[in-house]
Amino acid sequence: MHLRPPSREHADGYDDEAERCGWLGPAVTFGLAFMHIEPGWSVLDLGIGTGLGSAPFHRAGCRVTGMDISEEMLGACRTKGWAAQLVRHDLAVTPYPFQDASFDCVVSTGVFQFFRDLAPIFREVSRLLRDGGVFAFVTGDRARGKEQTVVVGPGFTGTGLSVTMYCHAIGEVAGWLETSGLRPVDTLEFTAWMDPERSLRFPVRAYLARKERSVRAGPPGVRPEGPPGAPGEREG
């Protein structure tokens, strides 16, 4: 199973295993995002692992910074040579070691299923994105009436240990986005297979969201600034 917490061996074999399992997270996430990004953008990949999720953004001309808890996974990513910066940090510990509004885009694939509550992560993403920046990510998907947790047994993790993964309902995700000032733009459900035989299906969903532009308060009667050419800006 490639969607599991890593070990050194796992880091070395991760890309092969992801390919054998048909891991579509990076392709689907980039597919939702690519009409909304520009070459030269700064991209932060949360849980970058070996770099699969942000590799398409790098190919599209973006500058990628990666954050991950695992030195082994960061090491495997480093050997690929294209990440501008790789930082070891736990997503559960806020604040993340980056300045406010320092990224045009935040990406995360195959990571959020390890977290029951995504609210603190989304708040941090909102802090790190500049106004108008985009957030492209994958979560475990919880259909109506389905369980929130999926326990993946030792037979599938390859570590002899069970792993608990979380599924998030679309409404729950929308709520966390909204309270963080992030507006949902697009979403697509797809399947992550837990094994190369593709016998165990884990439902996942990709999302694209945009950080709302903050509205600067002015004196009464003065309208907030819009982009050049915005409706109502021209005279006559």
Ligand X SMILES: C[S@@+](CC[C@H](N)C(=O)[O-])C[C@H]1O[C@@H](n2cnc3c(N)ncnc32)[C@H](O)[C@@H]1O
* Site membership for ligand X, residue 52 (CB under 6 A): yes
Closest CB to ligand X among residues 69, 170: 69
- Cβ 205 vs Cβ 179: under 8 Å: no
* Site membership for ligand X, residue 109 (CB under 6 A): yes
* Site membership for ligand X, residue 26 (CB under 6 A): yes
- Binds ligand X (CB under 6 A): choice among 73, 106, 177, 192: 73
- Binds ligand X (CB under 6 A): choice among 70, 126, 139, 180: 70
Residue with tokens 């998030």: 168
Q: Least distance from C-beta 73 to ligand X, angstroms?
A: 4
Helix, coil or strand: residue 188: strand
Cross-strand bridge partners of residue 141: 168
Q: Which stretch binds ligand X (CB under 6 A): 57-65, 90-98, 143-151, 160-168?
A: 90-98
* Site membership for ligand X, residue 3 (CB under 6 A): yes
Q: Write out the two tokens for 157.
A: 């993790």
Residue type, 130: R
In eight-state DSSP terms, residue 60 is T
Alpha carbon distance 176, 29 (integer Å): 19
Helices (H), 46-87: 55-59, 71-78
Q: Which stretch binds ligand X (CB under 6 A): 43-51, 153-161, 174-182, 197-205?
A: 43-51
- Residue 171 burial (10 A CB sphere; 0-12, 13-18, 19+): exposed
Closest CB to ligand X among residues 75, 183: 75
Cross-strand bridge partners of residue 205: 139, 189
* Site membership for ligand X, residue 91 (CB under 6 A): yes
Q: What share of the chain is helix, strand, coil (3-state, %, to 5)?
A: 30, 30, 45
Q: Least distance from C-beta 20 to ligand X, angstroms?
A: 13
* Site membership for ligand X, residue 110 (CB under 6 A): yes
Closest CB to ligand X among residues 78, 213: 78
Closest CB to ligand X among residues 41, 112: 112
Q: Write out the two tokens for 144.
A: 């109506």
Residues that bind ligand X (CB under 6 A): 2-3, 5-6, 18, 25-26, 47-49, 52-53, 68-70, 73, 90-92, 109-111, 114
